[in-house]
Structure 1
Amino acid sequence: MSIYDKLSALDITLPPVATPAASYVPYVQSGNLLFLSGHIARRDGKPWAAQLGRDMTTKEGQAAARAVAIDLLGTLHAATGDLHRVKRIVKLMSLVNSTADYTEQHLVTNGASELLGEVFGDAGRHARSAFGVAQIPLGACVEIELIAELA
């Protein structure tokens, strides 16, 4: 099954690349590596503002991270013209807006990691970091950046 067939089976439509909110570009290619800038969680087109451990559960955070992964896939598609050019998802870095005593950032980030595995199979398995932070731009609950290797 092709990547696009998998996306269709998951009822995922790739979004267009979001316009950067500050002075940066959505992605940069260096050699065969593609670096995607951090994407914040959005719901209904607006920043998904919440803090894990205060007003958002881990399960809700996983859904937000999955939504970020869908946005990252849209940017990845725009950058490559064809997701079949992705040889491997190399790394994710996830920032989770969370209270000082919240310790399930890694579980929140699974929402993105699991989707990438579903879409790319073994090529979607990646290294990653998941951090708890006091705040993310626009109050978003999750921000994730991605590095991909291109064929």
Structure 2
Amino acid sequence: MSIEAKLESLGVTLPDAPAPAANYVPFVQVGDMVYVSGQISNDENGLILGKLGENMDVEAGAAAARRCAINLLAQVKAACGGDLDRLVRVVKLTGFVNSTADFTAQPQVINGASDFMVEALGDAGRHSRSAVSAAALPLGVAVEIEGFFQIK
């Protein structure tokens, strides 16, 4: 089954790859690696705002992380000239969680992205990962995730 067909079976339609918001590129390809700039939590309704441990719970944070993962795949699709089946594997995700100083469930929040990658891509979605706290994120979003991907 193609990656796009698998996404469709999950009820996921990739958005157009978001344009960068400042002086950087959305992804860089070096050899068979694609390095995708941080994707902030947003969906069809706009930005997903919040601070974990203050006004957002882990479940909502994980949903925001899942949206970041969807945006990451949209960037990979763009990097692959529209052919997402060129994706070989997810290599690493680095997740930043807008959270209070005493919030310690960053890994559970970023699981929203990790679980989605495995659900959508199977073993090719298994990756190394970091999940860290941030005192604030751009525009007040709840989560930002960057990713490294191998393509063919």
Normalised to the residue count of structure 1, the TM-score between the two structures is: 0.97
Q: CA deviation at 1:84?
A: 1.2
Matching residue of 1:27: 27
CA distance in 2 between partners of 1:87 and 1:9 (Å)? 20
Give the match's secondary structure for 2:21.
Answer: coil
Q: CA deviation at 1:47?
A: 2.1
* Distance change in 2, residues 1:43/1:84 (3 Å): closer
CA distance in 2 between partners of 1:29 and 1:83 (Å)? 15
Q: CA deviation at 1:44?
A: 3.7
Matching residue of 1:66: 66
Give the root-mean-square deviation of aligned CA atoms: 0.9
Q: CA deviation at 1:16?
A: 0.6
Find out whether 1:110 has 2:93 as its counterpart. no
Cα deviations by residue, 1:95-122 (Å, 9 ceiling, x for unpaired): 0000000000000000000111011110
Q: CA deviation at 1:73?
A: 1.0
Tell me, which stretches of 5 or more residues in structure 1 are unaligned?
Answer: none
Q: Which runs of 4+ in 1 moved over 3 A?
A: none
Give identity over the alignment, percent. 49
CA distance in 2 between partners of 1:91 and 1:124 (Å)? 10
Find out whether 1:124 has 2:114 as its counterpart. no
Q: Superposed, which structure 2 residues align to 1:1-150 within 5 Å?
A: 1-80=1-80, 81-150=82-151
What one-letter code is carried by the residue in structure 2 that aligns with 1:7?
L
Worse-superposed segment, 135-144 or 76-85 = 76-85
Q: CA deviation at 1:45?
A: 4.3
Size of the aligned set, in residue pairs, is 151
Q: CA deviation at 1:150?
A: 1.1
Cα deviations by residue, 1:37-95 (Å, 9 ceiling, x for unpaired): 00000144422111000000000000000011111111111111211111110000000
Tell me, which stretches of 5 or more residues in structure 2 are unaligned?
Answer: none
Normalised to the residue count of structure 2, the TM-score between the two structures is: 0.96
Cα deviations by residue, 1:4-48 (Å, 9 ceiling, x for unpaired): 111011111110111211110000001111000000001444221
* Distance change in 2, residues 1:45/1:21 (3 Å): farther
What one-letter code is carried by the residue in structure 1 that aligns with 2:71?
D
